[in-house]
Amino acid sequence: GYNNIDGEAARKRGIAVCNVPVYSTGAVASMVMTFVLSLSCSLAQQQRKLWGPQPDREGWASIRGLSHFELAGKTIGLIGGRGAIGSKVSEMARVFGMKVVITSRSSKPCEGAEVVSMDELLGRSDFVSVHCPLNSETRKSIGRPHFEKMKSGAFLINTARGGIINEEELCDALERDVIAGAGLDVQESEPPAEGSRLWRLAQKNCLLTPHIGWQRVETRQRLVDSVALNITQFLKGEPTNVVN
Protein backbone atom coordinates (compact mmCIF):
# COMPACT_ATOMS: atom_id res chain seq x y z
CA GLY A 1 0.00 0.00 0.00
CA TYR A 2 0.97 3.62 -0.39
CA ASN A 3 -1.80 5.38 1.52
CA ASN A 4 0.77 7.06 3.79
CA ILE A 5 2.36 8.94 0.87
CA ASP A 6 0.96 12.16 -0.58
CA GLY A 7 1.12 11.08 -4.20
CA GLU A 8 -0.30 14.33 -5.55
CA ALA A 9 2.28 16.44 -3.72
CA ALA A 10 5.04 14.18 -5.04
CA ARG A 11 3.68 14.44 -8.59
CA LYS A 12 3.67 18.26 -8.46
CA ARG A 13 7.35 18.14 -7.47
CA GLY A 14 8.25 15.69 -10.22
CA ILE A 15 8.83 12.83 -7.80
CA ALA A 16 7.84 9.38 -9.03
CA VAL A 17 6.20 7.16 -6.42
CA CYS A 18 6.60 3.48 -7.28
CA ASN A 19 5.14 0.55 -5.41
CA VAL A 20 5.31 -3.23 -5.53
CA PRO A 21 1.74 -4.24 -6.31
CA VAL A 22 1.46 -8.05 -6.28
CA TYR A 23 4.28 -9.48 -4.19
CA SER A 24 2.02 -10.59 -1.30
CA THR A 25 -1.15 -11.71 -3.07
CA GLY A 26 -0.92 -15.37 -2.13
CA ALA A 27 0.36 -14.73 1.38
CA VAL A 28 -2.39 -12.27 2.33
CA ALA A 29 -5.08 -14.45 0.77
CA SER A 30 -3.72 -17.35 2.82
CA MET A 31 -3.99 -15.16 5.93
CA VAL A 32 -7.67 -14.58 5.20
CA MET A 33 -8.27 -18.32 4.91
CA THR A 34 -6.24 -18.91 8.09
CA PHE A 35 -8.71 -16.69 9.93
CA VAL A 36 -11.66 -18.43 8.24
CA LEU A 37 -10.38 -21.89 9.19
CA SER A 38 -9.56 -20.89 12.76
CA LEU A 39 -12.84 -19.05 13.40
CA SER A 40 -14.90 -21.90 11.95
CA CYS A 41 -13.49 -24.46 14.37
CA SER A 42 -13.03 -22.37 17.56
CA LEU A 43 -9.28 -23.04 17.45
CA ALA A 44 -8.17 -20.00 19.46
CA GLN A 45 -10.90 -20.37 22.09
CA GLN A 46 -9.93 -23.99 22.69
CA GLN A 47 -6.28 -23.08 23.11
CA ARG A 48 -7.08 -20.25 25.54
CA LYS A 49 -8.59 -22.81 27.90
CA LEU A 50 -5.14 -24.35 28.32
CA TRP A 51 -3.33 -21.08 29.00
CA GLY A 52 -2.51 -19.74 32.44
CA PRO A 53 -1.55 -21.44 35.70
CA GLN A 54 -4.85 -23.36 35.95
CA PRO A 55 -5.72 -24.89 32.57
CA ASP A 56 -9.39 -25.74 32.06
CA ARG A 57 -8.83 -29.24 30.70
CA GLU A 58 -12.44 -30.25 31.16
CA GLY A 59 -13.65 -27.20 29.24
CA TRP A 60 -10.96 -27.78 26.64
CA ALA A 61 -12.49 -31.17 25.85
CA SER A 62 -15.88 -29.60 25.10
CA ILE A 63 -17.02 -27.41 22.19
CA ARG A 64 -20.17 -26.38 24.03
CA GLY A 65 -21.09 -22.79 23.22
CA LEU A 66 -18.38 -22.40 20.59
CA SER A 67 -18.60 -21.86 16.84
CA HIS A 68 -17.75 -25.16 15.18
CA PHE A 69 -18.92 -25.78 11.64
CA GLU A 70 -17.92 -26.94 8.17
CA LEU A 71 -17.04 -24.43 5.47
CA ALA A 72 -18.71 -26.22 2.56
CA GLY A 73 -21.88 -24.38 1.66
CA LYS A 74 -21.02 -21.32 3.74
CA THR A 75 -20.75 -17.89 2.12
CA ILE A 76 -17.81 -15.51 2.21
CA GLY A 77 -18.44 -11.91 1.18
CA LEU A 78 -15.53 -9.90 -0.21
CA ILE A 79 -15.83 -6.13 0.03
CA GLY A 80 -13.89 -4.85 -2.97
CA GLY A 81 -13.28 -8.40 -4.12
CA ARG A 82 -12.18 -7.81 -7.73
CA GLY A 83 -8.55 -7.04 -6.89
CA ALA A 84 -5.67 -9.52 -6.94
CA ILE A 85 -5.98 -10.52 -3.28
CA GLY A 86 -9.76 -10.71 -3.32
CA SER A 87 -9.65 -12.86 -6.45
CA LYS A 88 -7.15 -15.21 -4.81
CA VAL A 89 -9.31 -15.49 -1.69
CA SER A 90 -12.27 -16.30 -3.92
CA GLU A 91 -10.28 -19.05 -5.60
CA MET A 92 -9.15 -20.53 -2.27
CA ALA A 93 -12.59 -20.32 -0.67
CA ARG A 94 -14.19 -22.20 -3.55
CA VAL A 95 -11.76 -25.08 -3.00
CA PHE A 96 -13.39 -25.49 0.43
CA GLY A 97 -16.81 -25.54 -1.19
CA MET A 98 -17.71 -22.02 -0.11
CA LYS A 99 -19.97 -19.65 -2.01
CA VAL A 100 -18.43 -16.28 -2.87
CA VAL A 101 -20.22 -12.94 -3.17
CA ILE A 102 -18.49 -9.63 -3.79
CA THR A 103 -19.23 -5.93 -3.92
CA SER A 104 -17.76 -4.04 -6.83
CA ARG A 105 -18.09 -0.70 -8.56
CA SER A 106 -18.26 -2.66 -11.80
CA SER A 107 -21.35 -4.69 -12.62
CA LYS A 108 -19.40 -6.97 -14.95
CA PRO A 109 -19.62 -10.71 -14.14
CA CYS A 110 -16.82 -12.05 -11.93
CA GLU A 111 -15.62 -15.60 -12.45
CA GLY A 112 -16.57 -17.84 -9.55
CA ALA A 113 -18.31 -15.07 -7.60
CA GLU A 114 -21.66 -13.34 -7.56
CA VAL A 115 -21.67 -9.53 -7.64
CA VAL A 116 -24.23 -8.18 -5.15
CA SER A 117 -25.07 -5.00 -3.27
CA MET A 118 -23.39 -4.23 0.03
CA ASP A 119 -26.61 -4.88 1.97
CA GLU A 120 -27.08 -8.26 0.31
CA LEU A 121 -23.46 -9.22 0.94
CA LEU A 122 -23.73 -8.35 4.63
CA GLY A 123 -26.99 -10.23 5.05
CA ARG A 124 -25.91 -13.39 3.28
CA SER A 125 -22.30 -13.84 4.34
CA ASP A 126 -20.98 -16.06 7.11
CA PHE A 127 -17.61 -14.32 6.74
CA VAL A 128 -17.15 -10.74 5.54
CA SER A 129 -13.62 -9.96 4.37
CA VAL A 130 -12.34 -6.46 3.57
CA HIS A 131 -10.27 -5.97 0.39
CA CYS A 132 -10.51 -2.29 -0.54
CA PRO A 133 -7.75 0.34 -0.33
CA LEU A 134 -7.64 2.97 2.39
CA ASN A 135 -8.39 6.43 1.06
CA SER A 136 -10.57 9.43 1.88
CA GLU A 137 -13.68 7.57 0.69
CA THR A 138 -13.08 4.32 2.57
CA ARG A 139 -11.66 5.62 5.88
CA LYS A 140 -13.94 4.36 8.67
CA SER A 141 -16.49 3.44 6.00
CA ILE A 142 -17.39 0.14 7.68
CA GLY A 143 -19.12 0.58 11.00
CA ARG A 144 -22.21 0.05 13.13
CA PRO A 145 -24.77 0.06 10.28
CA HIS A 146 -22.80 -2.69 8.54
CA PHE A 147 -22.35 -4.85 11.63
CA GLU A 148 -26.05 -4.64 12.42
CA LYS A 149 -26.87 -5.97 8.95
CA MET A 150 -24.58 -8.98 9.35
CA LYS A 151 -25.73 -12.34 10.68
CA SER A 152 -25.28 -12.66 14.44
CA GLY A 153 -23.13 -15.74 13.77
CA ALA A 154 -20.97 -14.06 11.13
CA PHE A 155 -17.32 -13.04 11.38
CA LEU A 156 -15.51 -9.94 10.07
CA ILE A 157 -12.01 -10.32 8.63
CA ASN A 158 -9.68 -7.42 7.79
CA THR A 159 -6.28 -7.91 6.15
CA ALA A 160 -6.43 -4.65 4.15
CA ARG A 161 -5.99 -1.50 6.28
CA GLY A 162 -7.16 -0.92 9.84
CA GLY A 163 -8.46 2.57 9.12
CA ILE A 164 -11.18 1.23 6.80
CA ILE A 165 -13.13 -0.01 9.82
CA ASN A 166 -14.57 2.17 12.57
CA GLU A 167 -12.70 0.38 15.33
CA GLU A 168 -14.72 1.76 18.23
CA GLU A 169 -17.98 0.67 16.63
CA LEU A 170 -16.50 -2.75 15.88
CA CYS A 171 -15.51 -3.11 19.54
CA ASP A 172 -19.07 -2.21 20.53
CA ALA A 173 -20.41 -4.89 18.17
CA LEU A 174 -18.02 -7.52 19.50
CA GLU A 175 -18.75 -6.68 23.14
CA ARG A 176 -22.50 -6.85 22.54
CA ASP A 177 -22.24 -10.03 20.39
CA VAL A 178 -23.85 -8.27 17.43
CA ILE A 179 -21.52 -10.46 15.34
CA ALA A 180 -19.77 -13.67 16.37
CA GLY A 181 -16.22 -12.41 16.12
CA ALA A 182 -13.44 -10.91 14.05
CA GLY A 183 -10.02 -11.66 12.64
CA LEU A 184 -7.88 -8.53 12.35
CA ASP A 185 -4.39 -8.61 10.86
CA VAL A 186 -4.51 -4.81 10.63
CA GLN A 187 -5.62 -2.22 13.15
CA GLU A 188 -6.17 1.53 13.10
CA SER A 189 -3.04 1.97 15.19
CA GLU A 190 -0.39 -0.73 14.92
CA PRO A 191 0.04 -1.98 17.54
CA PRO A 192 -3.25 -0.91 19.13
CA ALA A 193 -2.99 1.76 21.83
CA GLU A 194 -2.38 0.61 25.38
CA GLY A 195 -6.00 1.28 26.36
CA SER A 196 -7.58 -0.20 23.23
CA ARG A 197 -10.52 -2.49 23.85
CA LEU A 198 -9.11 -4.82 21.20
CA TRP A 199 -6.62 -6.22 23.73
CA ARG A 200 -9.47 -7.30 25.99
CA LEU A 201 -11.58 -8.57 23.12
CA ALA A 202 -8.63 -10.73 22.02
CA GLN A 203 -9.48 -12.83 25.08
CA LYS A 204 -13.07 -13.18 23.90
CA ASN A 205 -13.97 -13.20 20.22
CA CYS A 206 -11.32 -11.29 18.29
CA LEU A 207 -8.20 -12.78 16.72
CA LEU A 208 -5.44 -10.16 16.56
CA THR A 209 -2.26 -10.54 14.54
CA PRO A 210 0.40 -7.82 14.05
CA HIS A 211 0.07 -7.19 10.29
CA ILE A 212 1.88 -10.41 9.44
CA GLY A 213 -0.15 -11.45 6.41
CA TRP A 214 2.55 -10.22 4.01
CA GLN A 215 5.57 -11.21 6.10
CA ARG A 216 6.23 -14.81 5.08
CA VAL A 217 9.88 -15.47 4.19
CA GLU A 218 9.26 -15.95 0.47
CA THR A 219 7.01 -12.90 0.34
CA ARG A 220 9.61 -10.64 1.91
CA GLN A 221 12.29 -11.87 -0.50
CA ARG A 222 9.95 -11.19 -3.42
CA LEU A 223 9.41 -7.67 -2.08
CA VAL A 224 13.14 -6.96 -1.80
CA ASP A 225 13.77 -8.28 -5.31
CA SER A 226 10.93 -6.17 -6.72
CA VAL A 227 12.12 -3.01 -4.96
CA ALA A 228 15.61 -3.57 -6.39
CA LEU A 229 14.08 -3.94 -9.87
CA ASN A 230 12.07 -0.72 -9.38
CA ILE A 231 15.28 1.14 -8.49
CA THR A 232 17.13 -0.33 -11.46
CA GLN A 233 14.37 0.66 -13.86
CA PHE A 234 14.20 4.17 -12.41
CA LEU A 235 17.95 4.65 -12.85
CA LYS A 236 17.55 3.55 -16.46
CA GLY A 237 14.95 6.27 -16.93
CA GLU A 238 12.22 3.67 -17.30
CA PRO A 239 10.36 3.73 -13.97
CA THR A 240 7.83 0.96 -13.41
CA ASN A 241 4.84 0.59 -11.08
CA VAL A 242 4.41 4.37 -10.89
CA VAL A 243 1.25 5.14 -8.88
CA ASN A 244 1.15 8.94 -9.16
Query: Among residues 8, 190, 200, 218, which one is catalytic?
Result: 190
Query: Among residues 161, 169, 188, 222, which one is catalytic?
Result: 161
Asked about 68 being catalytic, the answer comes back as: no
**DSSP labels, the chain:** --TTS-HHHHHHTT---B---STTHHHHHHHHHHHHHHHHTTHHHHHHTT-SSS--HHHHT--TTS-----TT-EEEEETTTSHHHHHHHHHHHHTT-EEEEE-S--S-BTTBEE--HHHHHHH-SEEEE----STTTTT-B-HHHHHHS-TT-EEEE-S-GGGB-HHHHHHHHHTTSSSEEEES--SSSSPPTT-HHHHHTTTTEEE--S-TT-SHHHHHHHHHHHHHHHHHHHTT---SB--
Asked about 161 being catalytic, the answer comes back as: yes
Asked about 211 being catalytic, the answer comes back as: yes
Query: Among residues 11, 94, 139, 211, which one is catalytic?
Result: 211
Which residue numbers are catalytic? 161, 190, 211
